[in-house]
Amino acid sequence: MKPFYHLGTVTRINIFVHWTTVVMFFGLFLYYLWRGVSLGAALAGVLLIAVVFGCVLLHELGHALAARHFGIGTRDITMYPIGGVARLERIPRVPAHEFWIAVAGPAVNLGLAAGFFVFNLLTGRPLSIDALLPPRTTIPGMLMWVNLLLAGFNLLPAFPMDGGRVLRAWLAARLPYHRATRIAAWIGQAMAILFGLAGLLDFNPVLVFIGLFVFLGARQEVRAVAETERTGYGYPGPA
């Protein structure tokens, strides 16, 4: 089995999907059938999840296009079961650039949520969060709330998520870059531990997995910055 599958190219950026994402979609399809729904309903359920992943892809494209604005290319975007990752060619050297690149993704989700809000308002569909739950579930209402939740979750100051990168950019304007990264990473790892504990107490494996992902991601980012500092690469921040 290939580790990655090429979906296509958007604005000269290659889009890949990891094999675990393919397995997840196939597993969801089988789960829907196991629950006794019709073949059409199972396909519709998988298609709806695919639309949500489309919103996540637009989020990542927001990062990539903001980075391009500042002269930073994007190697590719890969979709995983827990979200997408846009691999930039280099770390932004200016704190303000990292700030705008980080907020561009959540800004896309807020824009999508605003669009669905207007559509729901004009068509008389429910605007409350009940739209996420049956029997009041509506696709436009669900997508409005999903995009709001994506924006809010990504803006949590848990490095290396978008909110953590915003925090590092703010700190790097005042502190040396490596120190700003370590502080942001410590905060991210603390939040990751809280995610993990909440998942264990609530028997929620998704929260545990997110906590592990954030914890390891923060540690990896510290190592990467240590390497770039050793080779003189990256923006130093104020002395």
Output the six-digit token pair for 46.
């998988």
Please provide residue 8's backbone torsions phi and psi, each rounded to the nearest 5 degrees.
Answer: 150, -165
Q: Which of 60, 89, 227, 229 is catalytic?
A: 60
Is residue 221 among the annotated active site residues? Answer: no
CB atoms within 10 A of CB 226: 12
Nearest to 211 by CA among 221, 199, 203, 202: 199
**234: phi > 0 → left, psi -120 to 50 → alpha, else beta; which?**
left
Distances (CA, A) of 24 to 3, 60, 81, 133, 200: 14, 20, 7, 22, 22
SS (H, E, C) 53-68: HHHHHHHHHHHHHHHH
Q: For residues 35 and 44, give the distance between their C-alpha atoms in angstroms, rounded to a whole number.
A: 14
Got the DSSP string for 121-189?
A: HHHT---SGGGGSTTS--HHHHHHHHHHHHHHHHTSS-TTSHHHHHHHHHHHTTS-HHHHHHHHHHHHH
Residue with tokens 């998704």: 206
User: What does the block give as tokens for 112?
Assistant: 């999508």
Catalytic residues: 60
